[in-house]
Amino acid sequence: MSDAAVALRPYGGSDLPLLERLLGDARMMMHLGGPESLEQIRSRHERYCRDNEEGVSRLFVIVTATSSEAAGWVGYWPRDWRGQAVWETGWHVLPEFQGRGLATAGTRSMLARAAGEGARRYVHAFPSVENAPSNAICAKAGFMSLGETEFEYPPGHAMRCIDWRFDLETARGPSTMAGQ
C-alpha cells in the first residue's frame, strides 16, 4: 500500500486550534499522560512558533493533498539519548484523518527533511508499548525497533515505550546512488 499524498508546511501562528484539538483531547493523549490544559497548549504553541521563527523549521502541519486540510502535525527536535546527540520525533493526526496513512506519509516526508539537514545521524521515536498505531507507523516508515525501554513523558511520568531508531544515513545514501 502506498502512502497517502500529503504536504508539510511549517507550523505557525494560525495553528493553535489544531494543537488544542490534538493535545486537549483525552483520547489523543491517552498514551502521553492525558490531555494538556489550555494554558499548557498555548505555551507550547508559542514555543513552536518561536522555534520555527528562530531557525530551521522542524515542526510541521500535515496537510492533505486532496483537500488542503490540516490533518495533524509532525516534527523533530534535538535530544541527548544515551550519550548521543539525536533527533526525537513525534506526531499527532486528528481522529477523522486517522487510518488513511497520513501519519506515515508525514513522518516519511519529515525524515527526508531531517536527512537533508545533515546535522545528526539518528531519529528516535518513543511510542508507548500500548500505542499500536504509533508503533505501526514507526515500522512502516522504516524505523528499527531497539526494544522496550523506560521513557519520561510528560516530565515526572515514567512510561514503558519502544525505542525506534531511524538511520538518516540510509535516507541520504540511496538518493545519491547512480541508477536508483
pLDDT tens-place string over residues 107-137? 999 999 999 888 899 999 999 898 999 999 9
Out of 22-36, 40-54, 90-104, pick the least confident. Answer: 22-36
CA dihedral 133, 61, 152, 100 (to 10 degrees): 0
**pLDDT of amino acid 91:** 92
Q: pLDDT band at residue 30, thresholds of 50, 70 and 90?
A: low
Q: pLDDT band at residue 9, thresholds of 50, 70 and 90?
A: very high
Highest mean pLDDT among 21-35, 52-66, 75-89, 151-165: 75-89
**pLDDT of amino acid 68:** 83
**pLDDT of amino acid 25:** 78
**pLDDT of amino acid 125:** 96
Homologous superfamily (CATH) for 6-176: Gcn5-related N-acetyltransferase (GNAT) (3.40.630.30)
**pLDDT of amino acid 175:** 44
DSSP-assigned states of every residue in the chain: -PPPPEEEEE--GGGHHHHHHHHS-TTTTTTTTSPPPHHHHHHHHHHHHHHHHHSS--EEEEEETTT--EEEEEEEEEEEETTEEEEEEEEEE-GGGTTSSHHHHHHHHHHHHHHHH-S-SEEEE--BTT-HHHHHHHHHTT-EEEEEEEEE-STT-EEEEEEEEEEHHHHHTGGGSTT-
> What's the chain's average pLDDT?
86
Q: Tell me: pLDDT of 2 over 60.
A: no
Q: Which amino acid is at 79?
A: R
Residues above pLDDT 90, as percent of the chain: 54
Residue-range domain boundaries for the chain = 6-176
Q: Tell me: pLDDT of 174 over 60.
A: no
**pLDDT of amino acid 170:** 84
Q: pLDDT band at residue 67, thresholds of 50, 70 and 90?
A: confident
**pLDDT of amino acid 173:** 62
The residue among 110 and 48 whose pLDDT is bigger is: 110
